[in-house]
Structures are given as C-alpha cells and as structure tokens.
Structure 1
C-alpha cells in the first residue's frame, strides 16, 4: 500500500457512527502516460436528500459528466461515472477535507487523494516549476544497492565548465515518490536541485524503489531498507569525478531527514546533513502528536482529540509488542471493537487496519531519531515549519535542543508560516498543499544554500 504525503497518518476513529459529509468540490490528480491530469467530483444532496454529482476533467474537456452512482457508508464512498467507465472508492481521512482512495477506468487503476476545495483555481498553477533547457549538465544515472537488492535510477546535475564540486544527495519523505518528490503537481526536489546546481553544487536525486525506473522490494521494506538505498546513493556519488572529496552531504525531507541521520551515523563519506521537517520524537510519539495536530485543524473538540490520543496510544502499545502478526492482528481487532462501542468491524474498517500491520509501520513506531542524532558528528542544518501538522515544529525543536549531541555545529531554523512541504500556508491543512502555487519556499532555499556554502568552503 502506497504511503502518500504523510509519515503514514493512521487516524482510526471508529467510535463515530454518524454519516459524514461529502458535499463540495473534490479535486485530485492522476498521472496518465507521464501527464498529470486534474480530476474533479462535485457532490451535493438533492431535495430528496440523495447524493448527486458531476465529474469533470478540465484539462481534457469542458464537459461535465453525471455521477450515476454514489453510495456512502459513514466515512466511505463509492462512485461511478458510467459515461466514461470510471469508478472511485475512498474514505474520509481524519481531516474531513481529505479523501483517500483509488480510481479505476478500464484497465487503468491508480491510488488517488481528493481534497475538498472550493477555490476557483485549478490547483495546478505551479509558479516555481523549472523546465529545460538548463544552464548546467543533467544526466540520468543508475546505481545498485547490493545489500538491499535494489536498483535505483535518478538524475545527477552539476555545473558546466569542468572541475569538482561539493555534492548532495536528496532523500524523499515517506511513501514511494519519484526523484522530484512529486506530489499534487509540485516537484520540490527538482526545484531544489535546480537552485543548488546553479549555486555550484552537484545534486543527486533518485526514484524511490518501486516507483519510476527504480526497482526493489517495497511491501516488506522499512525505513532501514530505504536508508540502505540512500547509503548506496552516497557511495555512488563519492565515486564521481565531478564530486569534491570531503564535501558530500545528505538533504532529507520528513522521513528522508531521519534517513539522512541514519546514513550520517554510519557512513564516513557524509560531511554534513540538512534535515527538512525531520522528526526528532520517537515514531509512536510523533504519530500521536501528528494525529492530534491534524484533528485540531480539522475542528475536533478537545475531548474528541484526547479520546483519539488515548485510543491511538492503546493501538500503538499493541503494535510495539513482540508478537507474531496473527496475534497482533487479533489483539488490534479486539481493541478496535472496544473503541467501536462493541460493534463488529466492517470491511472498510478492516481495510484501514491492514496498513498498521505492515513492516514499515511497525518499524517506524519503534525508531527513535535521537539514537541516530547522538551518533552524528558532522554539521547539522534543521528546519521546521510553524504550520507543519505532520512534524509539529515546537515539540520537535524542543526535543532537538535537549539532546546531547557529538557535534556542536547545529543550526536550527523555524519558519512560522510554512507547512510540511515548506509552502506559505494559512492553517497547514492538507488541501492547502494542492491549492498552493508555491512548491518550495525561496527563503528556505536561500538560507540552506548559504549554510551549505559555509560548510563546503
């Protein structure tokens, strides 16, 4: 199962038996033959209190097609557009304005997140995107992670004119993302790579295993496996003739920042790391904090937030046990039935339960970033967004400041108005990622570049 955008937000809330609201304009993107298409579902209730709606693909046609079938059950929805043979099935996330699901049309099937957005903007305006021709060299490269049995493919960019340059590896956050860290039409790593290359750096970014041109086991892979891939990327970069020895760094976003810490703790070729929205709190604590922050911006009451926190704590305590998967599954189901007021779990609830038993999730709960941070003895740049509801700034900054590190060269930057993707934001809610035309904040890129220049003199 693909982990999209988040550090895998698992926010199970089965105690609410009331029907959920699906009214509004729901927008999402799907990639077809390398092109991103905007898809829109417009839903409302008619005078007989039945759900009705229209579907549109504005980049392909101005026509609006009727949604012939809409079935809802609490927080789940199924829709069919018969005119074009399109099906969508999804469910509301903890954030009531985000729907996770999958669409199917003929033989084509894709995971798709929809966000409720009444904005007249399509959500596809991306003011920072960059396209060729470039005033630097761009090469497609490949490298092997023999230890992890993965074949990774990516892009290496570096300045023209010959010589050797300081170099960085960019590491994606959670989920299988391409080399540009693309999400909702934003390509932040492509923009960051362009910026840094123009400033004199060689930059390697790569498709995560299981997406794009990269190959490797995904379903059983954990953060430790992905760190092994990043380690192989550093080793590959260190052997390139245009790379300056002793000037190699790793820049990671979200889970990628955690990976940067893990690689720096064991690979002597890493000379500095930059952590962009990097978690400092242990996995289970971070996810509980994350769920609380997301619920708060979604408008949940304090009693509901506290109940959700207590319920998640019980679920995670079960997952932290050293028990076989079958026993864990049984214990989780018992606890969820209790949380669901004694009611048997529906098939939709079971679908939401399955990701919690994946190796990635169970491993992430156990990982304590501080363990790796304490082993890092190279300069650290750590940036956080004040509107970040996935890696909340205050708690993680406080935790970082309290650590006794080997290195004394630590720069912490707090950007009060930026969200998890480092966009200027109003609330930090997920739908703002989609609507925002900014892909990666210019001030952060400038601050990061100045720090990198200082550390690679």
Structure 2
C-alpha cells in the first residue's frame, strides 16, 4: 500500500449509519513512469436517481469520457471507463471528502486517493511554479546508499559564478515522492530550491527510493531506512567542490523533519536543521491527535470523536506489542469485531486493515522524536501551520518547548493561517490542497532563508 500526503492515517470506521454520498468532482493523481498525472471523476445522480459521470485526464487530453458503470454500496464504489479500459474501486474515508482505492488500466495498477472538489474545473493554476531558464546552475546527480542498498537520483542547484556555498538537503515527508515533493500539481520543493539557490545556497533534492530515478526496497522500508538514505545524501553533498565545509544542513517536511532529527543526532556533518511541520509527539500519540483533528473538520460530533480516540488507542496498543504479524492480525481483527458491535468483518473491512501491519506503520507508532531531538546539538528552525490537521501546531509546539534540548539555538515559528503544505488555508482540509494556487508560502520561505543566512555566516 502506498503512503501519501499524511502519516498514513488509519481512520477506521465499520458502522455505516452515516449517510454516504459520492456527489461531486473527485480529483487524484497517479504516478506513471515518474510523471504525476491528474485524474478527475465527476459524479452525480440523474433524474432517475442513477449514478452517472465523466472521467478526464486534463494533463493528457481535453476529452471527457463517460463512466459506463458506477456501482455503490454503503461507503464503497466501483467505476469503469470502457473507452480507455480504466477502472477505480475505493471507499469513502471517515472524512467523506476523501476516497481511498485502487486505479487499474490494462496491466497498470496503483493505489490512489481521490479528494472531493467544489467544482469541476480541471485546470490547475500553480502561480509559484518555476521553469527554465534558471538564474543558477542545475545538475542531475545520483548517489548510493550502500548501507541501505539503495540508489538515489536527484537534482543539485547552486549559484552561478563559481565559489563555494552553504548547502541544504531537502527531505520529503511520508510516502514515495519525487524530488520536487510533487503532490496535486504542486511542486513545493522545486519552488523552495529555486528560492534558496537564488539566495546563494546549494540545494540537493532527491527522489525517494521506488519513484523517479531512485531505486531500493520500499515495501519493507521504515523511517529508519529513509533516514539512512538522507545520511547518504549528506555524505554525497559534503564531497562536492561547490559546497562549503561545515555549512551543510537538512530541511525536512513532516516525516522528513523527523528524518532530519535522526540524521542530525548521529551525523556530525550536519550543521543545522529546519523542521517544517515536524512531529514532536510520539508516533501513536500523533496519529490519535491527527485522527481527532481530521474528524473534527469533517464535522464529527464530540462523542464520536472521543469514541474514535478510544478505539484507535486500543488498536495501536495491540500493534505496539512484540508479537508475530499473524498474532497481531488476529488480535486486531478480534478488537475490530468488538468495535463493530460483534459483527464479523467483511472482506472490504479486512483490506482496510492491511496498511496497519506494514513495517513502516508499526515502526512509526514506536518512534519518539523527542529521543532524537534531545541528541541534536546544532541550531534548529521549527515551523508549524495553525491550520495543519496532520501535525497539529499547538500540541507539537508545546511538546517542543517542554523538551530539555542539548542546543539553546532553537527558533519556533507559528503561522496561524497555513496548512500542512504551508499554503494559506481556510480549514486545513485535504481538499483545499487541490484548489489552492499557492505551493509554498512566501513569508515562510523568506523567514527560513533569513535564518539560514544567519546560521551560515
């Protein structure tokens, strides 16, 4: 299963008492040969109360194809677009504006999340996107992580004119993302790299293993493995002639911020780190908090939110046990049957359980960022968005402020109107990521750049 956008929230529910609706324009993206494609499903009921709809891939063609078959059952849906041999099978998440499922076309198959949009407008306006020619040098590079048996490909940008420069590595959040951290048509890392290189920095950004030009084990990989890749990136960058010795840092987003902490705690070549929406709370606590925040913006009642919190706590307590996968799976199913009022789980429900048993998820539950943060001795820049419902700001800032760190050089920035992707937002809900023209907030980039220049004088 593919992790995408947020820390693979498993926001389970097995009661279908709530009314389900699939009306609207659903937008998602799929990675094909390293390229992200936007896909759009427009659904509505006709005068006879039958589902009808159209499908489009606006980055490939302006044509809209009829969806020939649409079948729904409670929170599940299946759709077929016969003209191009494409199908999608999925289910509504607790947040009824998010659908999770699998897209198939011929021999191609991919997990895909769809997000409900307020309109059928399929064009994506990304006002900050950057294109050549650039005011700096851009090079395609590759490096090896011998320890993790991974081959990483990326892009190195640095100012023209020769000389040596302070340097940073950009590390993606959860899920296999390309070097631009591309999501829903946004390329925030490309925007950030452009900004930093124009301001005098060398910047390395790379494809996560398993996507773009990078290769390596993904299905069994954990946050620790991805930190090993980032360590290899530090070692590679430190050997480049345009990079100043003693002036290398890491900028990580979400899980990438956690990775920055892990690497900085053990690699003395790292001289400063910037944490963008970085988790401070332990993994299981963060996910429970995340579930609550997502449910709240989705309109769940307080009793329902509290019930979900208790149910998730019981599930995570099971996963935290040191038991064989088969035993854990049996214990999870038994607990979920209890949560499902004693009713047996359907095959669809069992499919929803599978992500909870992957090594990444079980490891993430156990990771305590505080353990690594307490070992960091270099300057830290930590920024949070007040509309972030994936790494909620208040609780994580409070946790960071209470830590007894080995460094006193800590800058904490709270941006009240920014979401998890650091876009100006109204609610922070995931569907806003699609509609927002902003890819990475200018004020944050300016603040981060000023801090970096101060720390690399």
Q: Same fold (TM over 0.5)?
A: yes
Q: Does structure 1 residue 455 correspond to structure 2 residue 430?
A: no
Counterpart of 1:228?
A: 228
Deviates more, 1:132-141 or 1:15-24: 15-24
2:185 aligns to what?
185
**What SS does the corresponding residue of 2:348 show, helix, strand or coil?**
helix
Listed as ranges, the gaps of 5+ residues in structure 1 are none
- Counterpart position of 1:96: 96
- After TM superposition, the structure 1 stretch with the greater mean CA deviation from structure 2, 30-39 or 193-202, is 30-39
Is the Cα contact below 8 Å between 1:122 and 1:435 reproduced in 2?
A: no
Give 1:320's aligned residue: 320
**Which residue is 2:340 aligned to?**
340
Matches within 5 A, 1:202-241: 202-241=202-241
List per-residue Cα deviations over 1:336-360 (Å, max 9, x = no partner).
1111111111111111100100000
Per-residue deviation, residues 315-339 of structure 1 (Å, max 9, x unmatched) = 0000000111110000000001111
Post-superposition Cα deviations, 1:231-267, rounded to whole Å, max 9, x if no partner, equal: 1100111111110001110000000000000000000
After TM superposition, give the deviation of residue 71 of structure 1 in Å.
Answer: 1.5
Matching residue of 2:69: 69
In the alignment, is residue 247 of structure 1 matched against residue 258 of structure 2? Answer: no
Shift of 1:34: 5.8
Superposed CA RMSD: 1.4
Between 16-25 and 428-437, the greater mean CA deviation after superposition? 16-25
Distance 2:323 2:30 in 1: 39
**Does the Cα contact within 8 Å between 2:16 and 2:75 map onto a contact in 1?**
no
Secondary structure at the counterpart of residue 8 of structure 2: coil
**Shift, 1:58, TM fit:** 4.0
- Paired with 1:87 and 1:193, the residues of 2 have a C-alpha distance of 37
- Count of aligned pairs between the two proteins: 457
- Contact 1:18–1:74, Cα closer than 8 Å, also in 2: no
Contact 1:388 1:419 in 2 (8 A): yes
Trace 1:33-432 onto structure 2 (pairs within 5 A): 36-119=36-119, 121-122=121-122, 124-432=124-432
| Greater mean alpha carbon deviation, residues 438-447 or residues 98-107 | 98-107
Deviation at 1:72, TM superposition (A): 1.6
- Distance, in Å, in 1 between the alignment partners of 2:111 and 2:264 is 33
Question: Any conservation in 2 of the 1:171–1:256 contact (CA below 8 Å)?
Answer: yes
State whether residues 150 and 215 of structure 2, in contact with CA within 8 Å, keep that contact through their aligned partners in structure 1.
yes
Residue matched to 1:27: 27
Give the secondary structure class of the aligned counterpart of 1:143. strand
Structure 1 position 90, deviation (Å): 1.2
Q: Go from structure 1 to structure 2 and tell me whether the alpha carbon gap of 1:215 and 1:61 turns closer, same or farther (over 3 Å shift).
A: closer
Residues 232 and 384 of structure 1, relative CA distance in 2, 3 Å threshold: same
The alpha-carbon deviation at position 19 of structure 1 amounts to 5.0
Deviation at 1:120, TM superposition (A): 5.2
For 1:203, what is the secondary structure of its paired residue?
A: strand
Q: So what's the TM-score if we normalise by structure 1?
A: 0.97
CA distance in 2, matches of 1:250, 1:149: 22
- 1:48 Cα deviation from its structure 2 partner: 3.9
- Deviation of residue 18 (structure 1)? 4.6
Q: 48-57 vs 425-434, which deviates more?
A: 48-57
Q: TM-score, normalized by length of structure 2?
A: 0.97
Moved more, 5-14 or 440-449: 5-14
Q: Is the 8 A contact 1:19 1:73 kept in 2?
A: no
State whether residues 79 and 88 of structure 1, in contact with CA within 8 Å, keep that contact through their aligned partners in structure 2.
Answer: yes
**What does the per-residue CA deviation read over 1:349-389, in whole Å, with 9 as the maximum and x for residues that have no partner?**
11110010000000000000000000001000000000000
Whole-angstrom CA distance in 2 between matches of 1:33 and 1:248: 32
